Chain A
Amino acid sequence: MPTVPIFMLNNSMKITHVAMTPLVGAPGKVSRVLNLAGFNSTSYCFSDYPKKSNLASKFLADTIVVDQNNKYLNDAFLNDIVTSDIIHIHNAITKKQLDAICAVAPDAKFIYQTHSPQKEGPLFYNHADDLEDLVCAKLVVAQYQPRLYPDYIPVPNLVLDTPQLKKRSENETLKVIFSPTHKRGGRWNNKASKVLDKSLDALSNSKKIELVKIDTPVDPRQLMAMRGLCDVSIDEVVTGAYHQVSLEGLCAGNIVLNSADHLSTTMLASMCDGQYPPFQSVKDYDVLECLLKLADDVELTNKKKIESYDFFTNYLNPLVLIQRYIDVYKAI
């Protein structure tokens, strides 16, 4: 089990994270933990999510939106860029924005990190091709994405919430939370499954489970609080991947159901001292059977909940995981 490293405070390295959108808070969280580890880091994005998407302003806790009309914010951004040792670009920014950054920070080192698949939105193609001569290291989120970027260095997504464990008491109905953030299709973006919906409805209607289904995006802190009161978190169960929901489920002491394949779980295990996460690997057609088994067995539920909680506290501590990023920063 890894121990939390003692960081040297007042580390002189300055890292600025830049992205087009908040990317559901991922760069902001890295930036925040880097600051906790003694680095000087700020996360910027060029625009928030559109208001009609219901995601607007929900992921800005650790990220600043660069407002061209706000002189002070604009100056702060430029000042950070000019004085940065490392500029960490996430997913994609426009050529114009990149040229502007390069013009004011000719000596900074660039790192590119991708969070999204190819051949579907938002990226479609590998944007690092445009930065080929510029970047010193290419990173990829250690989930399913490495298969699409095979020579990139996998790095973990972080969960900054406090781990919690609420055991299920006798005669208490199994509480299941399912919170798909969108209804887009695609090989990797897909989260919908009619079989899953039918299974959950059937179990819910027969009072075997208490279903907490969240169809529209809610504030991440509210969602985490709700998750903490539940026993099971369902990530998507159709693509073979796992997502941030699975990590948050472990943090909330939930049994996590997803369809993560061997590569995805191995990527996470490679971040966790070779330990595989206690995900319940199911496909949509297996969910009914899996939940029925848990619904009828309180002891089993609690055993698995403890496994999730233990795994998170032992291996997914953000102050431990941030070392992956620090190693890259120091290596370039």
Chain B
Amino acid sequence: MRYFIIDPIDSPNSGITKYSQLLCGLLSIQEGIQPEIIGINGRTIKEFRHYLKEYFSKFVNNHFIIEVPEAYASSVLIPSHFIVHVRLHLSHTLGQYLQNKNYDSVLFEEEKRVISTADFVSSPSLSCTDYTKFFFDINRPFLLHPNPFIFIDNEFLKVEKKGKITVGFVGRWELLKGINYLIDLIEKNPKIDFIVCTTAQDLIPKRKNISYTKSAESVYINSDILIIPSIYETASMVAIEAVAYGCKVIIWDHIGIGELRLNSLYKVPAFNLDHLDLCMHRASDKKTNVSEFNEVYESVSSHIVKNIKSIINNKPDFEINYQLYRKSSILDINLIKKEFNKVAANSSFDRKLRKLKRDPYLFFKDMYLKKTGKTYVNNITEKASVTQASLGTVNKNNKSAKRRAKLFCKLDGDIPISFHDYGEKFNDMRVVSIFNLDFYKKYIYKDILENIYSHDDFWPLRRENMGRGYISQSVLNKYSTTSSVFDNCILQQRAKLENIKDIFLFDIVDEPFISLFTHSNSTSRVNLVITNDSLEFGKDILEKIDSLIIINSHENVEKLDHRYIRKLYSFINTSDLHHYIRKVVQEGLAKPFDILIPIYNGYQRNLKIEELSKKEDLDIVVKISKDNDFYANITNICSANDYYKYLADSAEYIYARESVYFKYKTLCDDIVSKEDSLYFLKFAYADGAYIHVE
């Protein structure tokens, strides 16, 4: 039977790639199994997913197994009728979670789906199983078998050395790999020689007792002891390789490979440097038993083959093989997270120093941006989580989360109208809330603001991203006409409003000022929030604003004329208001798929509409009924209002993009008859929608 092994990394430094190669080697000598590796081969993960989907869709039957790592969910598009065996290696999002980093919630869902829907899931260690179940909230049986071992004819490899002991380290120069412990250990033991094989030679501290090599094999051969101070590993290919070469290996006792019964592995309590140091000295006195490895190699290989065959025969054996595995307790996942946090905090200076060494230009550029408050986003996953409008994750340890965005405006007294410019970066989702200063001073918005800031999984509403502004009542009273406000706000200041997507005006109902925000550009959305029960406002304001969020107990809420309101939400209590604010912002974000949906009639499938849907610049489609005499009335058109009336009267159906529907939700929801569509068309035309008339 064919056995496909998927490698979404395909890099010589990757554990997944090494695993794939070793498994392929092991299975290739088994009778009846034809292993085959499919590597990512330079594609992006998205392309790779589609490639796999197309590749396997060509097969007529499903008489084969696809083994795929959970990391990056590369099998997410493979049709469900194929037999998929997911091998746990430490998912990308779980890795990010352990390191207290933000992770992409979309990828989280995809990885979860891949693990949940797989026909079989296997894990290299009990700790990996446990953490995966906890993180993804999955409860299903997992097979347990180690990663395949590398076979070395190790009897003649070891170099005879006298006197000094040599300690080796193989791994990427990252906090994840525990380099901080390694550095401490090197400083503590100046008389011990350390030999290091890592990704970045220039980052290794310059000391007499450290030597660098590009070859991991050279480390294994020339070291007596190899230390693996990684904060967490599901298994460790380096440990296996080192043992195979006859090295004694020291690991923390919670590392996955430590669950195997291997005498050459020395385990010390997690993150205890003194124990690590002590163990290093003691282990140097002990003899290496290379023949032990050969015995374990045989039993591990046969156990892997047994489990793979059980998958092929659809008779998985979930029993733990205690001849191979020890009964060991699993470290609390929070302790790992805590350690990452501690380590990351301790080494921020080192990180900055490394950045300065690596790229001085970038170092000073970023420092300047940070000092001037122009950096807002820590990593790209934040943006990804926003565009998908997802629930995302909360980074409780993000120090910057406590910082507020720059003040947008404070208009009080006789100062000219001016605004802060947040720049073009992220201007498609920047939100600013503007308060009546007199009300603000009474602390009535304090809780509302804190509730809004609590959405720190949502980029636009985070404390460090959402702008605030204040306008005093005396300034609001000062301008009686739109032209007077515009005359007092120069073009350069008004241009700054273009970098804001959503403006929320809290209890500001002065029409000239609202016009300043609604008429300075055609891209910003202006939303009016009414929290005061008795605040009066006119119809003209409703026609100008994009949405109205009003307290349900407002005296005029029942009298509001829906024909003049693009979008209306009402809330019962101010403690609920933040949900509506998020809803309004979220509904206005760019949509990856923005299809035409029926607004009036046209509920049957329409191929013409499907074709028009592909034209991205088209917002609304109106079909004129053949029975109607629209064209006979053209000469009677004396204004655009006449045009709207004739168009609405003759409409056979109306379609609008989903984004358009959300923009005019209240108007669209109220369309029952042709006449009702008149108001929707009127607003859509005035706002610049591209309307295709059939």
Q: Which residues of A contact B (CB under 8 A)?
A: 95, 118-121, 124-127, 129-130, 146-154, 186-188, 240, 261-263, 266-267, 269-270, 273-274, 283
Contacts and interface: CB of A to CB of B under 8 A. Distances in A.
Contacts of A186: 522
B80 to A, nearest CB: 38
Nearest to B540: A129
Contacts of B482: 125-126, 129-130
B166 to A, nearest CB: 62
Contacts of B486: 124-125
Given A261-B691, A262-B691, A267-B637, A283 B520 contact: no
B634 interface: yes
Nearest to A262: B693
A270 B635 contact: yes
A263 B685 contact: yes
Given A124-B520, A125-B515, A270-B634, A263 B643 contact: yes
Given A129-B481, A130-B481, A263-B685, A150 B631 contact: no
B483 A130 contact: yes
A95 B685 CA distance: 30
Nearest to B481: A130
Nearest to A284: B617
B403 interface: no
Given A119-B522, A154-B639, A261-B692, A147 B617 contact: no
Contacts of B615: 283
A151 B634 contact: no
Contact of A187 (B635, B688, B692): B688
B559 to A, nearest CB: 24
Contacts of B634: 266, 269-270, 274
Contacts of B522: 119-120, 186-187
Contacts, number: 86
A119 B685 contact: no
Given A125-B515, A151-B641, A95 B483 contact: yes
Nearest to A274: B634
A228 to B, nearest CB: 30
B496 interface: no
A164 B251 CA distance: 90
A148 B483 contact: no
B519 A125 contact: yes
Nearest to B690: A240
Given A187-B688, A274-B631, A153 B519 contact: no
Interface of B: 481-483, 486, 491, 494, 515, 518-522, 615, 617, 631-632, 634-635, 637-641, 643-644, 682, 685-686, 688, 690-693
A250 B653 CA distance: 34
6 contacts: A120-B522, A125-B483, A125-B515, A186-B522, A187-B522, A274-B635
B645 to A, nearest CB: 10
A61 to B, nearest CB: 30
User: Chain B: interface secondary structure?
Assistant: helix
A240 to B, nearest CB: 5
Nearest to B685: A147
Nearest to A154: B639
List the 8 closest pairs (A to B, CB-CB), nearest first.
A262-B693, A146-B640, A150-B640, A147-B685, A274-B634, A270-B637, A119-B522, A125-B519
A266 B637 contact: yes
B612 to A, nearest CB: 12
A146 B692 contact: no
B639 A119 contact: no
A267 B691 contact: no
A186 B615 CA distance: 21
Given A125-B519, A129-B482, A148 B637 contact: no
Nearest to B524: A119
Nearest to A186: B522
Most buried by B among A147, A153, A267: A147
Contacts of A273: 635
Nearest to B523: A187
A150 B481 contact: no
B643 A267 contact: yes
A121 B518 CA distance: 14
A152 B521 contact: no
Contacts of A267: 637, 640, 643
A273 B494 CA distance: 42
B498 to A, nearest CB: 10
A200 B637 CA distance: 37
Contacts of B640: 146-147, 149-152, 154, 263, 267
Contacts of B644: 150
A270 B634 CA distance: 5
Contacts of A149: 640
Contacts of B491: 121
A235 B481 CA distance: 36
A3 B644 CA distance: 30
A125 B540 CA distance: 14
A146 B642 CA distance: 11
A331 to B, nearest CB: 11
Given A151-B641, A261-B693, 8 more contacts: A119-B520, A129-B483, A130-B481, A148-B686, A150-B685, A153-B639, A186-B522, A267-B640
Contacts of B639: 146, 150-154
Contacts of A118: 519
Contacts of A95: 483
A124 B518 CA distance: 10
Given A120-B522, A124-B519, A124-B520, A261 B690 contact: yes
B483 A262 contact: no
